[in-house]
């Protein structure tokens, strides 16, 4: 078990950060390729949105369950389950020869892969002090972001071999990752602190709205809708507007990854400690809104990369801040709290791509208009909460 009195991180946390880094590579390798791969098997724009939605919907259903289950069996088994599920389903995705096989692989992947992140965040909650938590949550995000620096560029290059090849590489990376976690990562939750029984149901997700963390979960949902609308429609938006291909999309996501690492690794922890979670989240949402306004005006690859940098700055400030606030404020076990948060995040990811894809078919700009409105609602909620005297955490100023 990690000694919370220490300042800094130990070898097990380093193993976890490396694991998340490799997850980031594997996940982001497919980002510039997925739209074109699905289209090659006959998918329409709306079906592409549904392909992303079913993955997130399965995560929405199962993330709180896996997070709660990690309170009973420990964090390491759930991290491993997610990685093994990631590996198997991505390889099946690469072997698909029809659209229904893509959906089957994505559904299985959504069910299994979502075990990793709530368990990883609960691991950080177990193994850090409250003062260290914002920085450590930022490092989780930075590890993912670092992976996403390399992944999209790799995926864009590998797509020249075949559109399926990046999926084979992503699955292989996850398998290697699982072996490394099994060997090097130590369990953070001792047996005597584990829950004796876990109720497998959707109740914890609904109960989250009855806790002092309800505002955090609502903001998580709205931000996730706004963010996933972009992820689900960006490639088709850029293809229709600027003629982008997989390689161009890969470089834009790489740019976002660079900014994400800088923000989450060097900046967000200090901002949280100085300003508090509420102000840091507000700054992040404002940056996301600005990025979407800029996307609607962009006319070149350089312009799109600038937009992606502003977008990544926003998301880099938001997610670690919300995660840290939930971890600090929870009166439940860490696994349950992080599972609920991940569930709301996944629910947003289920709504955003399908709705965005539908709106993109209506008009090329409508998906971004919708995302701007949703994020503006999130800002308004934060402002109203500020004037009502409620705060996101005990350290808000």
Percent of the chain with pLDDT over 90: 18
In the chain, how many domains are there? Answer: 1
Q: In which band, very low, low, confident or very high, does the pLDDT at 256 lie, cut at 50, 70 and 90?
A: confident
| Torsion angles phi and psi, residue 8, rounded to 5 | 105, -160
Task: Give the per-residue pLDDT at 189.
Answer: 78
Q: In which band, very low, low, confident or very high, does the pLDDT at 12 lie, cut at 50, 70 and 90?
A: low
Burial of 289 (0-12, 13-18, 19+ CB in 10 A): buried
Burial of 201 (0-12, 13-18, 19+ CB in 10 A): exposed
Task: Give the per-residue pLDDT at 284.
Answer: 93
| Least confident among 186-195, 239-248, 276-285 | 186-195
Is the per-residue pLDDT at 286 higher than 90? Answer: yes
* Residue range 250-254: mean pLDDT, rounded: 85
d(CA 277, CA 269): 10
Is the per-residue pLDDT at 367 higher than 90? Answer: yes
The answer to the question of residue 259 being in a domain is yes
| Least confident among 201-205, 242-246, 377-381 | 201-205
Q: Calculate the average pLDDT of the chain.
A: 82
Rg of the chain over CA atoms, in angstroms? Answer: 19
Give the highest mean pLDDT range of 2-16, 92-106, 119-133: 92-106
The answer to the question of residue 123 being in a domain is yes
The answer to the question of residue 2 being in a domain is no
Q: In which band, very low, low, confident or very high, does the pLDDT at 101 lie, cut at 50, 70 and 90?
A: very high
Task: Give the per-residue pLDDT at 1.
Answer: 43
Task: Give the per-residue pLDDT at 314.
Answer: 93
Q: In which band, very low, low, confident or very high, does the pLDDT at 309 lie, cut at 50, 70 and 90?
A: very high
The answer to the question of residue 23 being in a domain is yes
List the alpha helices (DSSP H) in the chain. 11-29, 34-40, 45-73, 75-94, 99-113, 116-127, 130-158, 165-184, 203-207, 214-242, 246-262, 268-275, 277-295, 301-329, 334-362, 366-388
Q: In which band, very low, low, confident or very high, does the pLDDT at 199 lie, cut at 50, 70 and 90?
A: low
Task: Give the per-residue pLDDT at 28.
Answer: 77
The answer to the question of residue 393 being in a domain is no
Among 7, 59, 78, 16, residue whose Cα is nearest residue 335: 78
Task: Give the per-residue pLDDT at 205.
Answer: 66
* Residue range 368-392: mean pLDDT, rounded: 81
The answer to the question of residue 338 being in a domain is yes
Question: Is 66 in contact with 85 (CB distance < 8 Å)?
Answer: no
CATH for 367: 1.20.1250.20
Cα dist. 92→151, 154, 205, 260, 316 in Å?
A: 19, 20, 31, 30, 31
Task: Give the per-residue pLDDT at 291.
Answer: 96
The answer to the question of residue 318 being in a domain is yes
* Residue range 201-215: mean pLDDT, rounded: 69
pLDDT (tens digit per residue) in 288-298: 999 999 999 99
Is the per-residue pLDDT at 201 higher than 60? Answer: no
Looking at per-residue confidence, does 305 or 385 come out higher?
305
Q: In which band, very low, low, confident or very high, does the pLDDT at 396 lie, cut at 50, 70 and 90?
A: very low
Task: Give the per-residue pLDDT at 91.
Answer: 92
Q: In which band, very low, low, confident or very high, does the pLDDT at 395 lie, cut at 50, 70 and 90?
A: very low
The answer to the question of residue 196 being in a domain is no
Is the per-residue pLDDT at 84 higher than 80? Answer: yes
Range of the domain at 92: 12-188+203-388
Looking at per-residue confidence, does 164 or 131 come out higher?
164
């Amino acid at each position: 078990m990690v000694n919370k009195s220490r300042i800094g991180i130990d070898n097990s946390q380093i193993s976890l950060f490396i694991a998340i880094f490799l997850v980031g590579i594997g996940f982001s390798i497919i980002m510039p390729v997925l739209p074109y791969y699905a289209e090659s098997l006959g998918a329409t724009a709306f079906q592409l949105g549904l392909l992303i939605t079913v993955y997130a919907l399965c995560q929405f259903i199962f993330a709180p369950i896996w997070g709660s289950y990690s309170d009973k069996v420990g964090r390491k088994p759930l991290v491993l389950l997610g990685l093994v599920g990631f590996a198997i389903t991505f390889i099946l995705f690469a072997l698909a020869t029809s659209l229904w096989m893509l959906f089957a692989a994505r559904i299985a992947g959504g069910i299994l892969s979502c075990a990793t992140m709530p368990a990883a965040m609960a691991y950080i909650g177990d193994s850090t002090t409250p003062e260290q938590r914002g920085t450590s949550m930022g490092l989780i995000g930075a590890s993912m972001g670092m992976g996403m620096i390399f992944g999209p560029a790799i995926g864009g290059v590998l797509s020249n071999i075949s559109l399926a090849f990046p999926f084979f590489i992503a699955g292989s990376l996850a398998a290697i990752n699982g072996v490394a976690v099994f060997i090097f990562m130590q369990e953070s939750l001792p047996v005597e602190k584990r829950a004796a029984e876990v109720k497998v149901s959707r109740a914890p997700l609904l109960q989250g709205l009855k806790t002092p963390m309800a505002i955090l979960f609502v903001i998580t949902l709205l931000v996730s809708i706004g963010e996933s609308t972009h992820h689900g429609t960006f490639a088709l938006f850029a293809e229709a507007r600027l003629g982008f291909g997989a390689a161009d999309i890969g470089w834009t996501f790489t740019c976002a990854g660079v900014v994400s690492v800088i923000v989450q690794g060097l900046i967000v922890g200090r901002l949280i400690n100085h300003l508090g979670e509420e102000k840091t989240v507000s700054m992040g949402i404002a940056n996301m809104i600005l990025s979407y306004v800029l996307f609607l005006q962009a006319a070149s690859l350089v312009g799109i990369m600038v937009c992606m940098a502003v977008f990544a700055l926003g998301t880099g400030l938001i997610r670690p801040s919300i995660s840290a606030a939930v971890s600090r404020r929870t009166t439940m076990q860490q696994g349950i709290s992080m599972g609920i948060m991940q569930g709301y995040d996944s629910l947003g990811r289920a709504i955003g791509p399908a709705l965005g894809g539908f709106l993109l078919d209506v008009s090329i700009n409508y998906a971004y208009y919708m995302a701007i409105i949703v994020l503006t609602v999130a800002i308004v909620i934060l402002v109203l909460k500020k004037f009502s005297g409620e705060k996101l955490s005990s350290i808000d100023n």
